């Protein structure tokens, strides 16, 4: 078993101090459900883990039209928050479909994003909802739009000393709807494909569209070219079929233990179509 020291700072300042003392040898730990396994397997090197669990300023939900979400709120809390579910259904759904109850009871949005798996369930909804991430470190604070956050499988734009402290979502426009879908072999599986959609409707016409898919590219992928096909259009079956074709061309899935590239390619188109239909229906219900 790999050995590591374990620190439990009570503030961000204390955490930075511990991180700096450790040199490049330490990693932050949130719920631990990704990183503990990675350390056990030797996939991540860490002589020390610095826990963010004791830093109370990182756990809050401020819903006020818009959303300011502390990065250390456990999924358990998010999935039980009915106001959040009403305001941002795709985020709430993604959280409630992630892993299993035991993992959800300790895991966090911050950890899911920083683990930066292409299949991260929190990513597609946050992408389509235009999330802004706050990163803080000993050098100060910066804000990064989620579109600039992911750099590759397991890679994101943060310095080792930085902590993702907050996820911010703007208020959703009236006549808008958002959805999240995920397909796995079993309910607790990592996604074979996941997808999210956000639509703003004006009567029958789609005025704004955001689409994202995960697990089919090196990063959770925003489908900018596909979005353009829907803007200022009516959402017809014929349009959606063309959308699905374009999605299939936009993704670059791999074959792995969970699925084949073939299946993922076709499924991407199907899930995006379904996500659009669901978001459209929700926009109409507002």
- C-beta closer to other proteins: residue 31 or 137: 31
Q: Per-residue string for binding with other proteins, 94-113, x by CB under 8 A?
A: -----xxxxx-xx-------
Contact present, 253 and 174 (Cβ < 8 Å): no
- Name the minimum Å distance from CB 47 to other proteins: 10
DSSP 3-state of 29: strand
3 binds other proteins (CB under 8 A): yes
Task: Output 33 or 259, the one with its CB closest to other proteins.
Answer: 33
Q: Which of 33, 90, 92, 108 binds other proteins (CB under 8 A)?
A: 33
Is 1 one of the binding residues for other proteins (CB under 8 A)? yes
For the CB of residue 140, give the shortest distance to other proteins in the complex, in Å. Answer: 29
**Contact by Cβ (8 Å): 53, 46:** no
Coil/strand/helix, residue 192: coil
Tokens coding 79: 């999935």
Position among 188, 207, 218, 261 found at the interface with other proteins (CB under 8 A): 188
Q: Note the Cα 187 to chain centre separation in Å.
A: 18
Q: How many CB atoms lie within 10 A of CB 47?
A: 15
CA 229 to chain centre: 24
Among 10, 21, 37, 284, binds other proteins (CB under 8 A): 37
| 38-67 footprint of other proteins as x/- string (CB under 8 A) | --x--------x-x-x--------------
The backbone region for 88, taken as left when phi is positive above 0, alpha when psi lies in -120 to 50, beta otherwise, is: beta
Contact between residue 33 and residue 111 where contact means Cβ atoms under 8 Å apart: yes
Give the footprint of other proteins on this chain (CB under 8 A): 1-6, 8, 29, 32-33, 36-37, 40, 49, 51, 53, 76, 99-103, 105-106, 186-188
């Amino acid at each position: 078993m790999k050995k590591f020291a374990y620190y439990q700072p009570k503030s961000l300042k204390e955490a930075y101090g511990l991180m700096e003392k450790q040199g490049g040898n330490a990693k932050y730990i949130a719920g631990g459900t990704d990183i503990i396994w990675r350390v056990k397997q030797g996939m991540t090197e860490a002589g020390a883990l610095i826990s963010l669990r004791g830093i109370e300023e990182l756990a809050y939900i401020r819903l006020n039209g818009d959303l300011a979400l502390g990065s250390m709120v456990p999924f358990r809390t998010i999935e039980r928050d009915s106001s959040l579910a009403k305001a941002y259904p795709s985020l709430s759904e993604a959280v409630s479909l992630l892993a299993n109850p035991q993992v959800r009871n300790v895991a966090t949005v911050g950890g899911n994003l920083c683990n930066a798996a292409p299949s991260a369930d929190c990513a597609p909804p946050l992408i389509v909802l235009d999330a802004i991430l706050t990163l803080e470190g000993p050098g100060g604070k910066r804000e990064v739009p989620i579109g600039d956050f992911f750099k590759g499988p397991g890679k994101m734009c943060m310095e080792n000393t930085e902590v993702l402290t907050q996820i911010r979502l703007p208020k959703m426009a009236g006549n808008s709807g958002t959805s999240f879908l995920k397909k796995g072999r079993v309910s607790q599986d990592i996604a074979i494909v996941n997808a999210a959609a956000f639509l703003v409707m004006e009567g029958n016409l789609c005025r704004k569209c955001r689409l994202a898919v995960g697990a089919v590219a090196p990063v959770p992928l925003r489908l900018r070219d596909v979005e353009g096909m829907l803007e200022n259009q009516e959402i017809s079956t014929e349009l959606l079929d063309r959308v699905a074709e374009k999605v299939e061309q936009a993704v670059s899935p791999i074959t792995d233990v969970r699925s084949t590239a073939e299946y993922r390619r076709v499924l991407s188109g199907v899930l995006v179509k379904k996500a659009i239909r669901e978001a459209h229906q929700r926009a109409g219900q507002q």
